[in-house]
Amino acid sequence: MDVTAVIPAYNEEQRLPKCLSSLYRQRLSYGDLRVIVVDDGSTDRTVHIARSYGAQVLYNGTHDIEIGKSIGLAHVETELVLFLDADNWQPDRTWLETAVQALITHPQAAGAQSCRFAYVPSDPPANRYCSLIGAADPVAYYLGKRDRLMHSEARWSLPGLVVEANNQYCVIQFDEHSLPTVGSQGFLTRTSLIRSTNWQPRLYHLESNLALVRAGYCQYIMLWSPVGHDHCRSSLELLRKLDRNARLFLQHSHERTYRYDLSLLRAASIMLIMTTGIRPAYDALRGFLHKPDVAWFLHVPYCLAVPWMYAIRTILHISDPRKLKVTI
C-alpha cells in the first residue's frame, strides 16, 4: 500500500529536517511513500527545506493547522494517509511498515499510532515531562483522555478494551465515551475512511475519529514503538501552546462534537485535585520511582497553573468572545 504523509508547517526550519529525515528513512516494503508539506505562510526556510527533501509543498496561509490538514488530505491520492506534525519524528525506521502491516491485518481498524512518546534524556525538562506522562496537558491526564502511556506504564492501562496484544502492538476497542485524544502526532489511517468524516474546511482529528467510532470503526492499533515529539523547549513555551489551544478550542467550539463529559461538579473536583498539589505530587513521585527523572516534578507547578489559565480563558470567552482573537 502506498502512503502519503501530510505535514502542516509554519516556520519550522529548526524541527522539519529531523521530521523529514526520519520519515524518509522509513522502510516500506508494501509500497511507496509520498510527503506533502502544507506551508502556512512561513517566513523562514521551511519551504526550501521541504523541497530539498523532495516533498510536495502546498500553501495554506490561514494560520489554521486544521485547515492545513484538510488542504493536505484533499491532495492525497494513496490508499493510506499519515498525519504528522513538523515536530514529530520516528526513532524506529520500521515504524511505518509495522503500522501498514497492522492495518492490513486488521481491516476494520480505524487507524494506527504509537502508544507512547519517545523519551530522550537530553531533551529540555519540559519536553521530557510531556514524554514521561504521555500527554502535553496535565488536564487531559486527570480527565483520563490521554492517548499515550506514561513511561512508568508497561502495558495498556488506559480506557478501552484490549482486543489483541503482541510484541509489536495492541488493538484497543473504544466507544464514544472512552475514546481518548487519538488521531494526531503520527496517525496512519485509510484515506477513504477519514474522508467519510466531516473534514472540510477544517480537519479536527478528535471529531473525525469520534465519527469513525460512531460509524462502527471502534478499534485502534497502538504500536509499542514510540513516536518522537519535540513539543516544547521550555515551560513558558508549553504554557503558551496550552493557552493557544484553549483559545482555539473555545473560538471554534460550535464546530466541535468531541465532548469531555465534564459536568460542573467533575470540573470542580478535578480543579481541586490539581490545584491542591497533593495528588500531583504523589503522581510525580510515583512516576519518578519507576523512571528517575526530575522532570516528573514539573507536574506539580503545571497542575497549579493550567486549570486557572483555562478557567480565565473560559470566563473571557463567555464575557467577551472578541478577546479570543488568535495570533500565531
pLDDT digit string (tens) for 41-90?
999 999 999 999 999 999 999 999 999 999 999 999 999 999 999 999 99
Our CA angle for 207, 13, 243, nearest 5°, is 45
134 HSE (CA, 13 A, CB side): 24
Q: Kindly report, residue by residue over 227-261, the tens digit of the pLDDT.
A: 999 999 999 999 999 999 999 999 999 899 998 87
How confident is the model over 129-133, as a mean pLDDT? 98
Instruction: Please name the residue that has the C-alpha cell 460550535.
Output: 254
How confident is the model over 207-222, as a mean pLDDT? 98
| Whether 180 contacts 95, CB under 8 Å | no
- Amino acid 324: pLDDT: 47
Write down the mean pLDDT value for the chain: 95
Q: pLDDT band for position 263 (50/70/90)?
A: confident
Q: pLDDT band for position 321 (50/70/90)?
A: low
Q: Taking the model in full, what pTM does it have?
A: 0.94
230 DSSP assignment? -
CA quadruple 59, 61, 63, 67: dihedral, nearest 10? -50
Q: At residue 3, does pLDDT exceed 80?
A: yes
Q: At residue 101, does pLDDT exceed 60?
A: yes
- What share of the chain has pLDDT > 70, as a percent? 98
Give the C-alpha separation, 318 to 37, whole Å.
36
Helix axes 299-319, 125-133, angle to 10 degrees: 90
Q: At residue 198, does pLDDT exceed 60?
A: yes
Q: At residue 262, does pLDDT exceed 60?
A: yes
Q: What 3-state class would DSSP assign to 77?
A: coil
> 249-266: string of b/e by CB count within 10 Å (b at 16+)?
bbeeeeeeebeeeeeeee
- Amino acid 327: pLDDT: 41
Q: At residue 323, does pLDDT exceed 60?
A: no
Q: At residue 326, does pLDDT exceed 80?
A: no
| DSSP-H helix ranges across the chain | 16-24, 46-52, 65-74, 95-105, 125-133, 138-143, 191-195, 205-214, 235-251, 264-276, 278-290, 299-319
Closest CA to 223 of 92, 107, 89: 92
Give the C-alpha separation, 12 to 309, whole Å.
27
Closest CA to 307 of 148, 142, 128, 177: 142
How confident is the model over 307-316, as a mean pLDDT? 93
The C-alpha cell at 64 is: 489554521
Give the C-alpha separation, 273 to 316, whole Å.
24
How confident is the model over 254-278, as a mean pLDDT? 91
**Cα dihedral across residues 210, 211, 216, 220: positive or negative:** negative
Q: At residue 328, does pLDDT exceed 50?
A: no
| Whether 326 contacts 248, CB under 8 Å | yes
Phi, psi angles (nearest 5°) of residue 88: -95, 155
Q: At residue 30, does pLDDT exceed 80?
A: no
More confident residue, 29 or 298: 298
